[in-house]
Amino acid sequence: MKTIDRILYRMKREGPVTAKMLAEEFKLTTMGVRQHMLGLEEDGLVDFEDVKVKEGRPTRHWHLTPKGHKRFADRHGDLIIQMLDSVEELFGRSGLDQVVERRENQTFEQYQAELAQAENLEEKLQILTTLREQEGYMAELQRDGEDFILIENHCPICHAAEHCPSLCRSELTIFQRLLGKDIQVERNEHIIAGERRCTYRIKKS
């Protein structure tokens, strides 16, 4: 992977970053990283915000622009949208709802089979995170006290979900069905709403 692609991937997965952090992580000079960032800025892929610190100059934090995020978009997004439009045109809104419901049930059954051997909530979430990572969601699991946070730094169906919001609602429904009535699943951050990632807080009711 080229250095520029590694930088973009790092920003997509981890969020805003400084040149110093990238230099240390990728064993580059800070000046070299800044040159890369300026080139990416000229291409419209990154932008920055200067954050004030207690002492000295503000620290420059770089982040992806909407154009930068689209570098990771699903290459098949336009095709999916065309298919969804065709379904709705041929079979109406109810036909489209049936397609989304069918996808939801198939995904649920697949996940349910994978989670069948898990003995507790944490094991279920670890398996679920791995499945989502394999599907391109750049997923990771974190612990927050008694709660868990499922983080998805990318959404490979984002383009289609913007066109058909019920796909997003379906994802949340799948998680809730998998984990059961005793577990509460809340979506706290949402890519479709303009945020950098989707996050789900998962806790016992």
Which pLDDT score is estimated for 77?
67
| pLDDT at residue 195 greater than cutoff 80 | yes
Contact (Cβ atoms closer than 8 angstroms) between residue 156 and residue 137:
yes
Dihedral sign computed on CA atoms, order 133, 136, 138, 141: negative
Q: How confident is the model at residue 17 (pLDDT cuts 50, 70, 90)?
A: very high
How many other CB atoms are there within 10 angstroms of residue 82's CB atom?
11
Which pLDDT score is estimated for 76?
60
Which pLDDT score is estimated for 69?
87
Distance between CA atoms of residues 101 and 89, nearest Å: 18
- Tens of pLDDT along 134-164? 999 999 999 999 999 999 999 988 888 888 8
Q: How confident is the model at residue 123 (pLDDT cuts 50, 70, 90)?
A: very high
Mean pLDDT value across residues 3-16: 93
Mean pLDDT value across residues 34-56: 92
186 vs 54, higher pLDDT:
186
Give the chain's mean pLDDT: 92
Least confident piece of the model among 63-72, 116-125, 186-195: 63-72
Which pLDDT score is estimated for 160?
85
CA nearest to 163, candidates 84, 99, 86: 84
Percent of the chain with pLDDT over 70: 98
Contact (Cβ atoms closer than 8 angstroms) between residue 22 and residue 33:
yes
- Tens of pLDDT along 62-113? 999 989 988 886 656 677 788 888 998 999 989 999 999 999 999 999 999 9
The secondary structure of residue 58, as a DSSP letter, is P
Which pLDDT score is estimated for 45?
95
Contact (Cβ atoms closer than 8 angstroms) between residue 52 and residue 129:
no
